[in-house]
Chains A and B, each alone.
Chain A
Amino acid sequence: MNKVIISVLGQDRPGILAAVSGILFKQDCNIENVTQTNLQTEFAGIFIVAIPDGLTPSALQETMKKELSETDLQIYVKPMVTKPPEDAESGHDPYVITTRGPDNKGLVAGITKTIAAHNVNVTNLTAVFKGGLEPGDNIMLYEIDVPASADFTAMHDELRTRADELGIEINIQHRKIFDTVTMI
Chain B
Amino acid sequence: MNKKEILSSLDMLQNENLDVRAVTLGINLMDCVSHEIGRFRENIQNKISGVAKNLVSVCDAVGEKYGIPIVNKRISISPIAVVGAPFSPEQLVEVAKTLNETAKMVGIDFIGGFSALVEKGIAKGDQALIEAIPEALTQTERICASVNVASTRAGINMDAVMLMSKTIKKAAALTSDKDGLACAKLCVFSNIPQDSPFMAGAYLGIGEPEAVINVGVSGPGVVKNAIDRAVSENPDLDLGQISEIIKRTASKVTRVGELIGREVADILKIRFGVVDLSLAPTPHVGDSVGEIFQSLGLTSIGVPGTTAALALLNDAVKKGGSFASSHVGGLSGAFIPVSEDLNIAEAAANGFLTIEKLEAMTCVCSVGLDMIAIPGDTSEGTLAGMIADEMAIGVINKKTTATRLIPVPGKKAGDYAHFGGLLGHATIMPVNNCNADNSFVKHGGVIPAPIQSLIN
Instruction: Please list the residues of chain A having a beta carbon within 8 angstroms of any beta carbon in chain B.
Output: 96, 98, 124, 126, 139, 141, 143, 153, 156, 171-178, 180-182
Asked if B66 and A182 sit within 8 Å, CB to CB, the answer is no
**Complex interface: chain B residues within 8 A of A126 (CB):** 3
Least distance between B368 CB and chain A CB atoms (Å): 32
Contact residues of B between 120 and 159, Cβ < 8 Å to A: none
Within 8 A of A (CB), among B226-277: 252, 255-256, 259
The docked-state distance in angstroms from the alpha carbon of A139 to that of B10 is 12
A/B interface sample: 26 pairs, CB < 8 A: A98-B7, A126-B3, A139-B3, A139-B7, A141-B3, A141-B7, A143-B1, A171-B10, A171-B67, A173-B66, A174-B65, A174-B66, A175-B1, A176-B259, A177-B9, A177-B13, A177-B66, A177-B259, A178-B5, A178-B6, A178-B9, A180-B255, A181-B12, A181-B13, A181-B252, A181-B255
> From residue A93, how far is it (CB to closest CB) to chain B in Å?
9
User: Which residues from A are CB-within-8-Å of B6?
Assistant: 96, 98, 141, 178
What's the Cα separation between A50 and B68 when bound, in Å? Answer: 45
| B14/A171 in contact, CB under 8 A | yes
A72 → B minimal CB distance (Å): 28
One digit per residue, 1 when the CB lies within 8 angstroms of any chain A CB and 0 when it does not, for chain B 1-26 equals 11101110110111000000000000
Residues of A within 8 A of B65 (CB): 173-174
A125 to chain B, nearest CB (A): 11
Q: Say yes or no: A180-B259 contact (C-beta < 8 A), given A98-B7, A173-B13, A174-B65.
A: yes
Give 11 new A-B contacts, CB below 8 A, not counting A171-B13, A178-B9, A182-B9. Answer: A124-B1, A139-B3, A141-B7, A153-B64, A171-B67, A172-B67, A173-B67, A173-B68, A177-B68, A181-B252, A181-B255
The distance in angstroms between the C-alpha atoms of A88 and B13, with both chains bound, is: 33
In the complex, what residues of B have CB within 8 A of residue A96's CB? 1, 6
Closest chain B residue to A143, Cβ basis: B1
A124 to B10, CA, bound (A): 17
Nearest A residue to B257 via CB reads A180
Q: Are B5 and A182 closer than 8 Å at their CB atoms? A: yes
User: Which partner residue on chain B sits nearest A152 by CB separation?
Assistant: B65
Query: Could you tell me the distance between the alpha carbons of A174 and B64 in the complex, rounded to whole angstroms?
Result: 9
* Nearest CB in chain A to that of B2: its residue: A182
Q: Report the Cα distance A98→B13, complex, angstroms.
A: 12
Q: Which residues of chain A come closer than 8 Å to B252, judged between CB atoms?
A: 181
Among residues of B, the one whose C-beta sits closest to the C-beta of A94 is: B1
In whole angstroms, how far apart are the Cα atoms of A126 and B5 in the complex?
13
Bound together, the chains give a CA A171 to CA B65 distance in angstroms of 10
A33 to B67, CA, bound (A): 34
Nearest-neighbor residue (CB-CB) of B253 within chain A: A181
Which of B9, B13, B64 has most A Cβ within 10 Å?
B9
Q: Map CB proximity to A onto B66-110 as digits: 1 under 8 Å, 0 otherwise.
A: 111000000000000000000000000000000000000000000
Return chain A residues, CB-CB under 8 Å to B68.
173, 177
A177 touching B64, Cβ below 8 Å: no
Asked, given contacts A172-B67, A173-B65, whether A181 binds B1 with beta carbons under 8 Å apart, the answer is no
Contacts of B3 in A (CB 8 A): 126, 139, 141
Q: Once the chains are docked, how many angstroms separate the CA of A182 from the CA of B248? A: 11
Give the docked Cα–Cα distance between A109 and B252 (Å). Answer: 34
Q: Is the CB of A181 within 8 A of B66?
A: no
Question: Which residues on the B side are within 8 Å of A124 (C-beta)?
Answer: 1
Smallest CB separation, A105 vs chain B (Å): 22
A118 to B67, CA, bound (A): 20
Q: List A contacts of B9 (CB < 8 A).
A: 177-178, 181-182
Residues from chain A with a CB closer than 8 A to the CB of B7 are 98, 139, 141
Query: How many angstroms from the CA of A31 to the CA of B5 in the assembled complex?
Result: 30
* Complex Cα spacing A182 to B11, Å: 13
Hey, which chain A residues are within 8 Å of B64, CB to CB? Answer: 153, 156
Task: List residues 1-59 of chain B with CB under 8 A from any CB of chain A.
Answer: 1-3, 5-7, 9-10, 12-14
A181 vs B67: C-alpha distance when bound (angstroms): 13
Residues of chain A within 8 A (CB-CB) of B13 are: 171, 173, 177, 181
Residue of B nearest to A182 (CB): B5
CA distance A98 to B7 in the complex (A): 8
Nearest 5 Cβ contacts at the A-B interface: A173-B67, A177-B66, A181-B9, A182-B5, A180-B259
* Highest count of chain A CB atoms <10 Å: which of B1, B7, B13: B1
Chain B contacts of A174 at CB under 8 A? 65-66
A-chain residues with CB within 8 Å of residue B66 when the two chains form the complex: 173-174, 176-177
Chain B nearest CB: distance from A174 CB in Å?
Answer: 5
Report chain B residues within 8 Å CB of A143. 1
Question: B174 → chain A, closest Cβ, in Å?
Answer: 45
In chain B, what residue has the closest Cβ to A126?
B3
A104 to B247, CA, bound (A): 40
Q: Which chain A positions have C-beta within 8 A of B67?
A: 171-173, 177
| Among A126, A153, A172, A174: residue with most chain B CB under 10 A | A174
Q: What is the bound-complex CA distance between A132 and B2, given in angstroms?
A: 24
Smallest CB separation, B13 vs chain A (Å)? 7
- Residues on B with C-beta less than 8 A from A171 are 10, 13-14, 67
> A96 CA to B65 CA in the complex, in Å?
11
Q: How far is the CA of A182 from the CA of B3 in the complex (A)?
A: 12
Contact code string B284-297 (vs A, CB < 8 Å = 1, else 0): 00000000000000
Roughly how many angstroms separate A177 CA and B63 CA in the complex, as a whole number? 11
Nearest-Cβ distance from residue B244 to partner chain A, whole angstroms: 15
User: In the complex, what distance in Å separates the CA atom of A85 from the CA atom of B2?
Assistant: 27
Cα(A105)–Cα(B213), bound, Å: 47
A17 → chain B closest CB, angstroms: 22
B255 and chain A: residue at smallest CB distance = A180
| Most central of A98, A175, A177 by chain B CB within 10 Å | A177
CB distance from A20 to the nearest CB of B (A): 26
* CB pair B256 A181 closer than 8 Å: yes
Interchain nearest-CB distance for A142 vs B (Å): 11
